[in-house]
Amino acid sequence: MNPLNPTHDTGSGDRALLIVVDAKDQRESDANTEELRLLADSAGVKTADEMHVRRQYPDARFYIGSGNAEEAHLRVQETGANVAIVGADLSPAQQRNLETTTEVRVVDRTQLILDIFAQRARTSEGKLQVELAQLQYLLPRLSGKGIAMSRLGGGSAGGVATRGPGETKLETDRRRVRDRISLLKDELESVVKQRAVQNKARRQLHIPGAALVGYTSAGKSTLLNLLAGADVEAHARLFATLDPTTRRVDLQDGASILLSDTVGFIRNLPHHLVAAFRATLEEVTDSDFLIHVVDSAHHFLHEQRIAVDNVLADLGAQNKPVITVFNKSDLLSNQYELRRLVAETPDSCYMSALTGEGRQYLEALIQKMISRLMTRINATVPYDRGDLVALCHEHGRILSTEYVPEGVLIEAEIPPNLAARFEQYGITIS
């Protein structure tokens, strides 16, 4: 194994002081707090203590200010915490200064998310991406006094965010990290090329492709399992899914789509993280339409929807047709609120991916979307071109047939890339 590879040890037994940076707005502060707790929990870290800091502007040296840094030190000593997790993105210098003051490892939000990703990556592509993102995070932190290096104790010590590119200790320098980064980029590129070939083959199946998108824990994997009878892991932990999975979904009226499950989104996703996961998220940009799964029982559903829209915009996917699913309806007693959400959101429905209740409404929306993506033809196909009629059956939907002396008069919806084959026999309506 390459010494720079992530070591993936879990169950670190870390006890953390969570440092929540409160916003001006109470609701946002609550969202920050809840999310940081969940992130820590998802990384397998126990919370020893929680500290709230409020700052108008981040402090250049400590981010949370020197007074708060001192208090954090006291709290660490009182509670025996061995790591401090800050719910913000720290500069390398801020991180170093905080470590010096608190005398424990300091992990910021990006690093925490990367750590969860490292624990979840299963496919070689996922692992490559996580390692690349970790090294890119690490690189600017190597220039200092070596404190970031010394924390790379590697496998034996374990602990949250130590399963970074570990085992390297001081002998690793920036050059080696850079070499590794460019190697990883090359490897990723070849994986991406390979997938492009697969995707091309998939497209020749003429089945529309849809991608499930949504905030982490919204229920995307549960929905894929329901629709495709798949057994993708679904969990209350954040970022349960990292690697994309694609399954064929056969709808009740005979139409089919290829549905891809993707990594969940989160608020304030650092830009370089989005970039690192671009390949995984190609499922999103390559798809014909999106199914945005919303956790409608979540009190921050509005904020979460905005966060998802922002990531989609980052990916350049903001203009893709989208179906919105207000999921987890079984958890809501107030159906009025759900109906209101559906009424004000085009192409939306509410349902429960867990119980399957309301599934038919989603299927109807998917059907409508497929029709919209199809080209409608009106053609008189000669009797010796039964193959064309079969093509309509297989890849599209026949709306009506009539037998006339010249052949079969067909009105049908077919994938746009098949329409050319009918040109000489009729007209394309849309």
Ligand X SMILES: Nc1nc2c(ncn2[C@@H]2O[C@H](COP(=O)(O)OP(=O)(O)OP(=O)(O)O)[C@@H](O)[C@H]2O)c(=O)[nH]1
What is the rounded distance in angstroms from the CA atom of residue 292 to the CA atom of residue 212? 6
Under a CB-based contact definition with an 8 Å cutoff, are residues 293 and 302 in contact? no
With CB atoms as reference, the residue minimizing the distance to Mg ion is 241
Please provide the DSSP assignment of 372-426 as one string. Answer: HHSEEEEEEE-TT-HHHHHHHHHHSEEEEEEEETTEEEEEEEE-GGGGGGGGGGE
Size of the site for Mg ion (CB under 5 A): 4
Rounded to the nearest whole angstrom, what is the least distance from the CB of residue 119 to ligand X in the complex?
12
Binding mask 94-133 toward ligand X (x if CB under 6 A, else -) reads ----------------------------------------
Site string for ligand X, 190-229 (x = CB under 6 A): ------------------------x-xxxxxxx-------
Smallest distance, Mg ion to C-beta of residue 240, A: 5
Q: Does 48 bind ligand X (CB under 6 A)?
A: no
352 makes contact with ligand X (CB under 6 A) = yes
Strands 245-250, 209-214: pairing is unpaired
Among 132, 341, 353, 410, binds ligand X (CB under 6 A): 353
Q: Report the residue number, 120 or 141, with the smaller CB distance to ligand X.
A: 120
- Residue placing its CB nearer to ligand X in the complex, 35 or 413: 35
**Least distance from C-beta 218 to Mg ion, angstroms?**
9
Longest dimension (CA), the chain: 92
Work out what residue 68 binds among Mg ion, ligand X, none; the CB cut-off runs from 5 to 8 Å by kind: none
Tell the smallest beta-carbon distance from residue 327 to ligand X (Å).
Answer: 5
Comparison of 276 and 412: residue with beta carbon closer to ligand X: 276
Nearest 10 degrees: Cα torsion 134, 303, 45, 153? 10
Q: Applying CB under 5 A, does 240 fall inside the site for Mg ion?
A: yes
As given in the structure block, the two tokens for residue 33 are 């707090």
Distance CA 179, CA 194 (A): 23
Strands of 245-250's sheet, edge to edge?
245-250, 256-261, 209-214, 289-295, 322-327, 348-350
Q: Mark residues 354-383: x for contact with ligand X by CB under 6 A, - for none.
A: x-----------------------------
Q: Are strands 289-295 and 209-214 parallel, antiparallel or unpaired?
A: parallel
Q: What's the chain's length in residues?
A: 430
15-22 and 83-86 beta bridge pairing: parallel
Tell me the angle at which helices 174-203 and 124-138 cross, rounded to the nearest 10 degrees. 150
> Among ligand X, Mg ion, none, what binds residue 328 when CB lies within 5 to 8 Å by partner kind?
ligand X
Only one of the segments 68-76, 104-112, 234-242, 315-323 lies at the binding site for Mg ion (rule: CB under 5 A); that segment is 234-242
Which residues between 319 and 338 bind ligand X (CB under 6 A)? 327-328, 330-331
CB-CB contact of 109 with 36 (8 Å): yes
Residues at the interface with Mg ion (CB under 5 A): 220-221, 240-241
Residues at the interface with ligand X (CB under 6 A): 214, 216-222, 234-236, 238-241, 264, 327-328, 330-331, 352-354
